[in-house]
Structure 1
Amino acid sequence: CSEENVYFLCKKLISIGVADTVGVDLFVVFISNEEKKVPLWHQKASNSIDGLVVWDYHVICIQSKQKQGNDIDLVWDLDTTLPFPFLLNQYIPEAIRPLSFGHSMYSRLFRVVHAPIFLRSFASDRSHMKDPSGNWISSPPVYDPIVAEDGTTNNLNEYIQMRSKDARSLEESINDVHSSKYGAVLSETMLEEFFSLIRQRRISPKTT
């Protein structure tokens, strides 16, 4: 239930003052692809020395902030064995390892959603945690399912589903991430440059 864990992580970072008061510096990042097979390294769930796990999808938070006068990007990955949080420019070569599989079915896509929009819009009824007969595959969280502000009860698939052709230019992606409910889809080679541009521009989010 990594999406719900990251949802509450964002709320926690805001409430304890680690993030901006409304989460302007936070971005929720869904990692998946058309085949629902995304390899990541240094994962707690792994049984291998290098920590390799092939997820159907994974969710992390990236914080783009200023610290002691320097702009930095931090990755908050609740499932990693790497330091928590970890610098994005170190997390990428360690955990993502871009193009390790070339242009194959394992190439990853990243849906980046601005946290203020995500916290208003995300909803999950946890139906993905049940088998075809409606039985729980694993025990669900004890708290109530997350419902969006507009009353939507489930839109998890819209965040997870992504195709290579959904990735747009960096310029378009920066606009999308501040205005679209479902953010922007990036290829794995665009991720670090995208956040570099976000930091440079310091674009204020749209509140509509």
Structure 2
Amino acid sequence: MATDGLIPPIFAKMDANGNLWWGTLISGIVMILIATFVPFTFLNDLISAGILIAFTITDSSVILLRHASPEDKPLLLEKLLVVFNILAIISGLLLSNYMDSDAGQVFAAFGVVALIILMVEIKRQCPPLDLSNVMGSSAGFKTPFMPFLPLLGSVVNWYLIAHLDSYDIVLLIVYCAVVMVGYYLYGIKRSVGNHKGWSTSPDDDYVESVDFELTSQHKIT
């Protein structure tokens, strides 16, 4: 992340042995302070929910890597994924907290049916990308049952998050809001990949940034 510019470049600096010394020191101090002053109950739920959200973002990212919007409907895939995740959140809350009422059961059933329809529409309207000319045979990874498996994973993640207490959900929303504000105020303006893109080579085992401006600052002199 520091290499891309999403966080300050000091986190990408290495010592003479190639260790991320400054990044380890700073993040370690922050973690010690949090573990010391924040009750473990809050940490446990917040960390679990944060990991589930990270998995959900990964699920959506995999779909964006493997599928594309039709040419006559730009950003259709992105819009469908946003609607799908919002509906998955609502359905998870209904299934977790309102199944003891008839209205809750009806709305939950409607949400599940709508999620299935959205899955089919994403598959039908957003064709898979042909990556044979972009990636070498040794690069990348296989993703079975696209896009249904990652979409199902997102539903399960949101369902588990919906089981949190209301206070924990509020903390999670605040945490996500702080992260998003930090990203839009700092990271998105400095991201090398966001402004210049990333170049890939079939012969390389890694992805490197184009015209990476922090290369000379990696090591501490």
State the TM-score bracket (shorter-chain normalisation).
Answer: under 0.3
TM (norm. structure 1) is 0.22
Q: Indicate the structure with greater helix content.
A: 2
